[in-house]
Amino acid sequence: MSNSGTTWSSLLTEQRLNTSAHLDELSTRGIIELINNEDRKVADGVKAVLPEISRAADLVTAAFQSGGRLFYVGAGTSGRLGVLDASECPPTYGVDSEMVQGIIAGGEAAMVRTQEGAEDLEEDGAFALEQKGVTDQDVVMGIAASGVTPFVLGGLRKAREIGAPTVFFTCNPETAGAVEATVKITPVVGPEVVTGSTRMKAGTATKMVLNMITTAAMIKLGKVYGNLMVDLKPSCAKLRDRTERILAIAGELDPEACSDALRAADNDLKAAIVMAKRAVSLETARALLQHNGGIVRDALLGDAPT
């Protein structure tokens, strides 16, 4: 029995999938086809909760705009996916690593080796948020495929006490009613091909939703122009090449000229785009961007600050 009063055997993610009841008798191709057929259901499950995902993205965007942060709280696969999404925001969007953070039951060691029992301690979830210094300006998103993970519920409880907006994600809608949160995201993806293995469909749904939330928020913050990441930092050869290709497209420059153009902009891609498109100095380009909230499109179309 979970602490919410729900037996594990009643959870949708713990049910046995009839179509995979003879999974061990299938050929390799048969196993792969069955998994693929089930995975097709994930996108439809996520589609059904797009309004809630949009609300969560707006909450996160508002927090970022006021200097707040996003904290993911999870255990096992859910926790790892939160840490993964958080860790990919800085290289993709040039944001500080403190802006999006993942908290996983069992700490860093749990990223590579299961920490049995860590998810069962509700007080640890609350303590983890205290250690991070979460405030009412931040957003806390609890991720629990089962919907009853004590570590996650403890984190959400502490977030509510602090006054922070909360988001709750689970693939067991029946458990969401017992959880208080500003926004609840409850995609139905059905039982897993391997019974109870929520790293499969539930994990895929989690990855999709986290991608949507942070991507939408970063776009709203001006980290994307068109479909190009324009706060990219050229910190390695791959990213340097990508930065130059983005500048060639957005700045309408010959590829050969992009290296010099970036150098003239002190490797500031946004400024380089504005310099190229408006034929202005670096100082003016930066003033235009600052005047227009860092939004490249507005900086290209708006009047220069006086």
Domain ranges of the chain: 8-220, 224-301
pLDDT confidence of residue 2: 42
Mean pLDDT calculated for residue range 279-299: 95
* Better-scored residue on pLDDT, 304 or 241: 241
Assess whether the region 8-220 and the region 224-301 belong to the same CATH fold. no
pLDDT confidence of residue 203: 96
Lowest mean per-residue pLDDT among 108-117, 153-162, 281-290: 108-117
pLDDT confidence of residue 118: 76
Determine the CATH number of domain 8-220. Answer: 3.40.50.10490
Q: Is the pLDDT of residue 46 over 80?
A: yes
Question: Contact at 8 Å (CB) between 252 and 242?
Answer: no
Q: Is the pLDDT of residue 169 over 80?
A: yes
Catalytic residue numbers, as ranges: 88, 119
Tokens of 249: 């497209």
Tokens of 19: 């179509």
Q: Is the pLDDT of residue 134 over 60?
A: yes
Mean pLDDT calculated for residue range 263-275: 96
- Residues pairing with 229 in the sheet: 224
Residues 88, 78: Cα–Cα separation, whole Å: 16
Give 231-264 pLDDT, tens digit per residue.
Answer: 988 888 999 999 999 999 999 999 999 999 999 9
pLDDT class for 6, splitting at 50, 70, 90? low
Ramachandran class of 150: left when φ > 0, alpha when ψ lies in -120 to 50, beta otherwise: alpha
Mean pLDDT calculated for residue range 107-116: 79
pLDDT confidence of residue 119: 84
CATH architecture of the domain with residue range 224-301: Orthogonal Bundle (1.10)
Single-letter amino acid, residue 251: G
Residues 64, 179: Cα–Cα separation, whole Å: 25
Look up the pTM and report it: 0.91
Mean pLDDT of the chain, nearest integer: 92
Residues 223, 230: Cα–Cα separation, whole Å: 6
What sign has the CA pseudo-torsion 270, 286, 256, 277?
A: positive
Residues 163, 136: Cα–Cα separation, whole Å: 5
pLDDT class for 8, splitting at 50, 70, 90? low
